[in-house]
Chain A
Amino acid sequence: MTDSGSTDPTRIPSLPEVFLKRTFSLINSTSDRNSLSLVCKDWYNYERLTRRHVSIRNCYAVTPEIVAARFPAIRSVSLKGKPRFSDFNLVPEDWGADIQPWLSVFVTAYPLLEELRLKRMSVCDDSLEFLAMNFDAFKALSMLSCDGFSTIGLEAIATHCKNLTELDIQENGVADVGGDWLSFFPENLTSLEVLNFANLGNEVSFDVLESLVSRSKSLRVLKVNQKVSLDQLRKLLVLAPQLTELGTGTFSGDLVSSSVNELESAFSKCGNLQTLSGFWDPSLLYIPALYPVCGGLTFLNLSYSVLGADELEQILTHCKLLTRLWVLDTVGDKGLEAVGSHCPLLEELRVYPDDPLDQQSGVSESGLVAVSNGCPKLHYILYFCQRMTNAAIVAVAQNCPNFTHFRLCIMKPHEPDYLTNEPMDEAFGAIVKTCVNLQRLSVSGLLTDLAFEYIGKYAKNLETLSVAFAGNSDAGMEYVMRGCPKLKRLEIRDCPFGDSALLSGLSQCESMRSLWMSACNLTMNGCKKLAQEKAMLNVEVIKDEDGDDSLANKVYVYRTVAGPRKDAPPFVVTL
């Protein structure tokens, strides 16, 4: 397929290998690289030899050996493991997604591995120790929503990773067994740029933390845990005014050794601060100390803070440049009106529930409409609410036609439009009709097959769809399977979709990354049929302890080149 020596004027002469390789090595975008690799055999080779980063979005779609064989020069790996619904306890423990088999291959294939970013993987302390001891060039470890490890594993990382720049422990099921893991960082480690231990429950020695921050001149991200006091936080800020991201811990208690003014002064020296988070139990008295940095903030995460509308407004009046805001629904509709008033540049809003069972509190449709009125650039919304109306969402879609991510969770299953008592079909219909760039959609409330007909008809760019307690019949799912060509991830729970719906999208299944269906109407026979028709799919059924053996209560289907899992636990049956 290469063109060297051809005299045909319409054919492009081939470029020198050295030139191509050098050029390719400058290209970082994975989608660009994927395109390059399809041009011809030579380009496929140059691309694979120069690729430094690989993202594996399903750890069972491929084996580490296959990855290592194709890409010999990788320095940075991202791995995602369990299906997303494992975050909500729908996947049993010991399901899999163990990191160790990957590390065991990487130790010979990628001895110079520098970065590892994991999401929903099972990571044990021994694996962390293995990582720390076997990869001399290792720099950056990030773990989000992983489980299976404790602070003992972190001790190993701290002890052995001589070039560590990043340790990012986020929202994991990590066991903090004490033992002051932070003190295992050697005195001569000065390379840290990112340190996030907000996840951990126990106190760390402040002297050790202070010394570490003080000598880490490149530190730009520091997120402390809830045991760090305000006084201590102030001291850390004085040592690290160059921070761009700060996690404040609780931000509560009494300032003992200094005053609010001194805290404010410390913040005022942090001219680069763009992201603030933490605030687990903020003392309102000290919130004004933040005002000097609020003007430069782009991302404010208050989603652990029980704040009211007025308190939120006070803060937001200072945050004109905010593009991302996460809050708890304790701010209420009034708080969201303040968002609409003060944050014209807002692009992303997330409203999390404080108490999902309390139907009197929280936010409703009016808060969302207020935000959409004031924030025309809004394109990402995650909204937990107790009630909603079709009319409100129609208005929101008109105000903000650029939604790429629309995730609405009406917390009571099957809840209709509370004013008209009708299903919420028209709401989501409006979203998919108006927001042509929609990539991700989560639906909720009372929905008939009509909602799915709309999705199948209009959501042509949809990549991720999450459905719960919705639909009337197989037709609903069939609309989606047939109508959404770009669908990559579909997760469904508690819907009346059965075997024929599953089998309706046979061609779709192979272009999708994964499909999850739980508490639907699937049978083992239907799943077996799917498995027979499509060899490139793993069709896995998670067995219940009790329950009818002919029914398939939890089904996980994904495309793979690795064949059936070799590490499947007894309760996972591959058909």
Chain B
Amino acid sequence: EMGKEIQSPEEQSSYTVEQLVAVNPFNPELLPDLENYVNEQVTSQTYSLDANLCLLRLYQFEPERMNTHIVARILIKALMAMPTPDFSLCLFLIPERVQMEEQFKALIVLSHYLETGRFQQFWDEAAKNRHILEAVPGFEQAIQVYASHLLSLSYQKVPRSVLAEAVNMDGASLDKFVEHQVTNSGWIVEKEDGSIVLPQTEFNHPELKKNTGENVPLEHIARIFPILG
């Protein structure tokens, strides 16, 4: 089954780790593989919540083997996964005394700012902790995606200044960013005031909400076929 296709060594080992985690999550022998997998996620800009939670649980059972650098990376990856609650899920598995360390206090503060939509404070704090965050490529971009997501839920039309603050860009770089979204995500720039018209979804356009329709899955109806037949 493993030899289905030619996979790069990295791909092969991550395939194996995921499988092992799915079958047998509480296996302390997996610890080194899971740690390597975290580093792999960082360098290849991929992500696996399940594997990371598994590692954090194993650290709970064997705290002397806990590697705080790895834990920090897991948390940063979890931040990048917003709006999913991965950060809280991970944090729950980390002992409080570890959370008291400086790098973790900073990450918790960053998470709090993101949870409360306080992007200006977030970027300020992130700048102060650049040395922790730059270890993980793609961090800024991931947060910008989250910011766009949150704005898209809330605004039909958002002032340029609000957007600028949320994605921590201005001037030419902001123009470039917006252009990219115009091309790929259906954003529209309002000519008069430069505000951004965000894509229409049921979340910012209530008339699009499918409220009255009801979806009954086929398999539910199939259960009564014997009765009707």
Q: Do A and B come from one complex?
A: no
Q: Which residues of A contact B (CB under 8 A)?
A: none
